[in-house]
Amino acid sequence: MKVTLTVISVFLLIVTIGAPPVLEKVNTDKAPVDTKGDESDEVLNNLEYGRYLKEVVEILENDPEFKRKIENASIDDIKSGNIAQHLSLVQHNVRTKLDEAKQREMIRLRELVAKKIRNLSEKERIELARAHPDAPHVKQFIPQHVDHQNVDGFNEKDLERLIQHASKDLDQLDRERERQFKEYEMQKEYERRHKLAQMTEEERKKAEALHDKAAEDKKHHPKVNHPGSVDQMEEVWENVDHLEADQFNPKAFFKLHDINGDGFLDEAEIEALMLKEAEKIHENNPEADPIEKQEEMDRMREHVMKEFDRDNDRMLSFNEFELGINGTGAKNDQGWQSIEDSTIYSEQEFNKFAENLDHLPTPSASHQGAGASGNQIPPQDSVHLPRAQPPSINH
C-alpha cells in the first residue's frame, strides 16, 4: 500500500512509506496493484522508529484540513518541520489516535532504553545517570524522534521532531546506498587484482587484455536515450508495449504505466520505464553485472524525478509527466552519462580503502582498472588485496 500524495510530502518519503491510498481519481480499468510494498517496508525497517512513523502517517492522512495545509506548504517548511504548527487543526478523533500512538511508542522506547541500560557496566550507568539530559552522548543513547517532556500526548514538537529525523535519516540511507555501490566496485577490483596476482605473467597479460576489451566493449553499447525524453518513451511504447510508434499518446502511455491505477507514476513505475535503457548498457557483455544495471536504473530514475517532479513529492502527476517529456530538460540530444562513462571512485579513495584491508600483494600489472568506468589506475606497489565478497546492496 502507498501513502497519499500530500502525506508523503510531509515526510519526504513519497512511495517509501506504505499506507492505504486515498485516491481522488482511480483508473477503474485495472485493479490497484501494490508495486512498492515490500520495498517500502524494507526502507522503514531500516529506521528504528519505522513502525511508529508509518502509524503516524496513516493517522494524519485521514484529516482533510491538515492535508490542505500540507498542499499549500513549501518544501522547506515541510522538511524543516515547520508544518507541525498546524497540528492544532486536526480533528479530535485524529488527535486522540495520535496520542495513543505516542503512548505506545513511549512504552516501546522505555523497554528499549531499559535493555540498553542492562547492557552497560556499572560505571557507564552512573555516568549516564549523572549526565545532563541534553548531553550529546545522552541524546545518542535515548531516541530523539519524540518529545520526552510530554509523555502522554502527541504535540507539535512530536511531529516536528519526527519529520526532521525522518528526513535526515532517509537522506542518510540514500547516501549509504551510494557508498555501498562505490565499495562494491572497489571490492570487485580487489578481487580482480588478487586473481591476477596468482597468475603467471603470460596468464596475467591475457586476463588483462580480456578485461580491457570487455571494458571497451561496454562503452560501445547501443544508443541510450536521454531518460525521460519523448524518444525514450516512444521506444518503450513500441518495443515494450508493442504499440504503433506513430500512434504514441502521452496520456494513454501514462495510464498504461500507472500500474496501480492511482493517477500518479511513483518511483517504482518510473524505474520500470528505465529497464530497456539500462539493458542497452549492461546486457550482452561477458562482464555484465546485475548490480551495476540496477544502479544505472536508480540513477536514471533519480534524474527523471529531479527534472519532472515540480512539487518535490517524488511522484509524477500526468501534468508533470507531460510537461517533463516536452521540456528542454528531456531533450534526447543530451544523451546520458552511464556508469561505464563515469569514474565511480578516485585513485585516492581506492588507496585509502586498500589500506584497511589484509596484506596481499598487488600484481605488477600494466593496467589497473578504476571501477565500472574502466579508467586506469597506475600500479600500486603497496596496495594489499583481500579476497572480498561483494556487499549486499538493497535498492
pLDDT score at 168: 80
Q: Model-level pTM?
A: 0.63
pLDDT score at 359: 58
Domains of the chain with bracketed CATH: 44-164 (no CATH), 221-340 (1.10.238.10)
pLDDT score at 202: 94
Give dist(CA 350, CA 333) in Å, integer. Answer: 34
Q: Is 357 helix (H, G, I), strand (E, B) or coil?
A: coil
pLDDT score at 171: 72
Q: Is 159 helix (H, G, I), strand (E, B) or coil?
A: helix
Give dist(CA 88, CA 69) in Å, integer. Answer: 12
Rg for the chain, CA atoms, rounded: 25
Helix axes 318-325, 250-257, angle to 10 degrees: 130
Whether residue 336 contacts residue 350, with contact meaning beta carbons closer than 8 Å, is answered with no
pLDDT score at 333: 79
Give dist(CA 70, CA 54) in Å, integer. Answer: 17
Can you list the residues of the chain whose pLDDT is less than 50?
1-38, 360, 362-395
DSSP 391: P
pLDDT score at 42: 57
Comparing CA positions, the residue from 359, 354, 57, 17 lying closest to residue 189 is: 354
Whether residue 226 contacts residue 234, with contact meaning beta carbons closer than 8 Å, is answered with no
Q: Is 198 helix (H, G, I), strand (E, B) or coil?
A: coil
Comparing CA positions, the residue from 220, 189, 211, 227 lying closest to residue 284 is: 220
pLDDT score at 332: 79
What is the DSSP annotation of 224-285? PPPTT-HHHHHHHHHHTS---GGG--HHHHHHHH-TT-SSSB-HHHHHHHTHHHHHHHHSSS
